[in-house]
A and B are shown apart, each in its own frame.
Chain A
Amino acid sequence: NAGVTQTPKFHILKIGQSMTLQCTQDMNHNYMYWYRQDPGMGLKLIYYSVGAGITDKGEVPNGYNVSRSTTEDFPLRLELAAPSQTSVYFCASSRDRLAQYFGPGTRLTVL
């Protein structure tokens, strides 16, 4: 099992550009999450999904969009990137709201 994989690992984006962060899990987990972690801080929930076709907003959804067409994949879309979106992004998955398994993260810089 690869667990939770994220791509890319690092990326530099220009202000106003858009991009998609990819997240895939091979554990057949129904729950998936996207978080951002700013330096020295805890994680903040951006979006989550309880199953294919179902997504909902978390604490900080503005500037982001998600989709969940399959159980395995949960991409995060950044539209019109802003410097405030510079952060480390973590994807996670869990079975039935038990322990979350985190991906390695994507370090994103918006300049």
Chain B
Amino acid sequence: ELKVEQNPLFLSMQEGKNYTIYCNYSTTSDRLYWYRQDPGKSLESLFVLLSNGAVKQEGRLMASLDTKARLSTLHITAAVHDLSATYFCAVDGDNDMRFGAGTRLTVKP
């Protein structure tokens, strides 16, 4: 059974600092997704990673995928308050989509 684990579940950062969120999954998959969710809102797609070694960047966020280690990371550079949200990774196990529990990020001035 496909399992997806994120850590940390809660993250409080100061503005300007860097940090990484980790997403581990249990079985082979060729697709990994990162989403953002603001409180009380729907989910917004951030990245789709389709191959081993894939790296994608958008603004202060960079995502990478290591399929051999079954690990994806979401790196935050020089955090700003606007990045406060919950971040989810999701893994596509041949249409069996499984989400991590989410990382609730708070960026403090």
Contacts and interface: CB of A to CB of B under 8 A. Distances in A.
Interface in A82-111: 90, 92, 97-105
A59 B99 CA distance: 11
Chain B interface residue number, banded: 20 to 34
B45 A58 contact: no
Chain A interface residue number, banded: 20 to 34
Interface stretch (B13-21, B62-70, B73-81, B89-97): B89-97
A41 interface: yes
A50 B42 CA distance: 22
Nearest to A98: B48
A56 B97 CA distance: 12
Contacts of B101: 41-42
A101 B45 contact: yes
Interface string A31-67: 0010100000111110010100000101100000000
Secondary structure of the B contact surface, majority rule = strand
Contacts of A43: 43, 88, 90, 99
Contacts of B43: 43, 90, 92, 100, 102
Nearest to A31: B95
Contacts of A58: 96-97
25 contacts: A33-B97, A35-B97, A35-B99, A42-B88, A42-B100, A42-B101, A43-B43, A43-B90, A43-B99, A44-B99, A45-B96, A45-B97, A48-B95, A59-B96, A90-B42, A92-B43, A97-B31, A99-B48, A100-B35, A100-B45, A102-B42, A102-B44, A103-B42, A104-B42, A105-B42
